[in-house]
Amino acid sequence: MMKDIYCIARTEAGLAPEQIKEALLASLEGRALKKVLILPPDFTRFHSNAGFITNVYYHALTERGVQVDIMPALGTHVPVTEQQWNAMFGDVPFERMLVHNWRTDVVKLGEVPADFVSEITEGLWTEPVAAEVNRLVMDESYDLIISPGQVVPHEVIGMANHAKNLFVGVGGSQMINRSHMIGAVYGMERMMGKDYTPVRRIFDYGMEHFLKDRPILFVLTVTTAPGGKIHTHGLFIGEGRDCLTNAVKLAQEKNIDFVEHGLKKCVVYLDPSEFKSTWLGNKAVYRTRMAMADGGELIIQEFKKPENTDLRENMGAAAHLIHGSSDGRFSITYAVKEITQEEIASVGFNAADYDETAKKYDPQKLNYGYNTVDGEEIYFIPNPALGLWINREKFEE
């Protein structure tokens, strides 16, 4: 097993591309490779910087004559389009993409036993969970499987990535659905921003018992994206769990923002190129709910008209819809171009006219954080996927 490689930026600007490339090339030293599978996140994790990382690995390996296949870790998301591919992965040929199908492309490796799941969930979930992954992960013709991605606060698991990229990103229906519902039942406010949560321990169990003999190299980033520009604060490369443990510590420092008091009004912008479903858009709710004041208002702007999702089949989507509730503690107002106000109101949210809202709260003019609009203090978040916001007053109680 290679010695883990950690690169942590000493400035807020983050690691330079040359520093990242040097670390990636070092992770390939001493390896005799003929065929490699890369499992980057999809476009919804654009700001992970995994696109650049995948590009570096692709060119470094193909220049050595290595066959490189790239399968984005979609989970249940729709496949990456050619336009998204080019924006994220640069000049890597679109033809190198393999599409994961969570319904048909998986093999069952075993089960996380019911007694273990019951113990770690305090009896809230008492059924076993099947460990399923795309069959290519088990294909012994691959000399190396590279799993890049971002460690960032996450509503289902606490902190995203590492084994989640395998068991959910290229996983099967039962693991995806049950892990999401276990997170929803256990309570996301008990988990967000933390490491050893029940769902994380399920994935750790899967790694230890079913994937420990596979040649998997994790390449984990900790990033922020002020003004849309990616700043990579840390790069953690390793074959075990230590790279995750250390990445979590940095992500807790960089990706959890404490506000000094509960937010009375918060405006969150959802870039429609990134957020294309209601259950993804609900990140605006669950990433801010711990910062919202009782009786406050959360205004959510933009995002793309939702994809149709069969909730009978996709419990993961249903779990995200559970996450989208404020539990009556604050109000949620959607201002969306492609959905009528009547449709929004019919599912229990408040609705506002998009043009009027965007004129008053222009995402191109607002600064991240506190702003004053018409004499009123508002808090603006340009991308809820990159962090977690917590009211310091509540946190310290």
3-class DSSP assignment, residue 154: strand
Contact predicate 338/355, CB 8 Å? no
Tokens of 174: 């039962």
Nearest CA among 274, 234, 228 for reference residue 151? 234
The CATH architecture of the domain made up of 257-395 is: Alpha-Beta Complex (3.90)
DSSP per position, 2-39 = PPPEEEE-SSTT---HHHHHHHHHHTTTT---SEEEE-
Contact predicate 54/40, CB 8 Å? yes
Read off the amino acid at residue 295.
Answer: G
3-class DSSP assignment, residue 293: strand
Confidence (pLDDT) at 227: 79
Which residues are CB-neighbours of 97 under 8 A, at least 6 positions away?
A: 70, 71, 72, 80, 85
pLDDT, one tens digit for every residue, the chain (397 residues): 688 999 999 889 999 999 999 999 999 999 999 999 999 999 989 999 999 999 999 999 999 999 999 999 999 888 999 999 999 999 999 999 999 999 999 999 999 999 999 999 999 999 999 999 999 999 999 999 999 999 999 988 999 999 999 999 999 999 999 999 999 899 888 898 999 999 999 999 999 999 999 999 999 999 998 878 999 999 999 999 999 999 999 999 999 999 989 999 999 998 877 665 565 667 889 889 999 999 999 999 876 555 555 444 555 666 666 667 788 899 999 998 888 899 888 888 899 999 999 999 999 999 999 999 999 999 999 988 888 899 988 766 5
- CA distance linking residue 161 with residue 243, whole number of Å: 11
Beta bridge partners of 108: 132
Confidence (pLDDT) at 385: 81
For helices 198-206 and 173-186, give the axis angle rounded to 10 degrees: 150
- CA distance linking residue 98 with residue 110, whole number of Å: 25
Strand 231-238 with 5-8, pairing: antiparallel
In the chain, % helix, strand, coil (3-state, to 5) comes to: 35, 25, 40
For residue 216, the surrounding DSSP H or E stretch is: strand 216-224
For helices 17-26 and 50-62, give the axis angle rounded to 10 degrees: 50
- CA distance linking residue 205 with residue 163, whole number of Å: 10
- CA distance linking residue 331 with residue 312, whole number of Å: 28
Nearest CA among 48, 40, 104, 46 for reference residue 69? 40
**Is the Cα dihedral 290, 292, 295, 298 positive or negative?**
negative
Tokens of 328: 């009556």
Nearest CA among 269, 260, 41, 272 for reference residue 166? 41
User: Would you list the domain boundaries of the chain?
Assistant: 5-254, 257-395
- CA distance linking residue 243 with residue 212, whole number of Å: 15
What Rg do the C-alpha atoms of the chain give, in angstroms? 21
- CA distance linking residue 215 with residue 57, whole number of Å: 16
Q: Each residue of 144-172: b (16+ CB within 10 Å) or e? A: bbbbbbbbbbbbbbbbbbbbbbbbbbbbb
Phi-psi region of 138 (alpha: psi -120 to 50; beta: other; left: phi over 0): alpha
Q: Which letter does DSSP use for residue 366 in this model?
A: P
What's the start-to-end Cα distance of the chain, in Å? Answer: 44
Tokens of 74: 């979609």
- CA distance linking residue 178 with residue 8, whole number of Å: 35
Within this chain, domains 5-254 and 257-395 share the same CATH topology: no
- CA distance linking residue 288 with residue 158, whole number of Å: 14
5-254 under CATH 3.40.50.11440, yes or no: yes
Confidence (pLDDT) at 394: 75
- CA distance linking residue 340 with residue 294, whole number of Å: 27
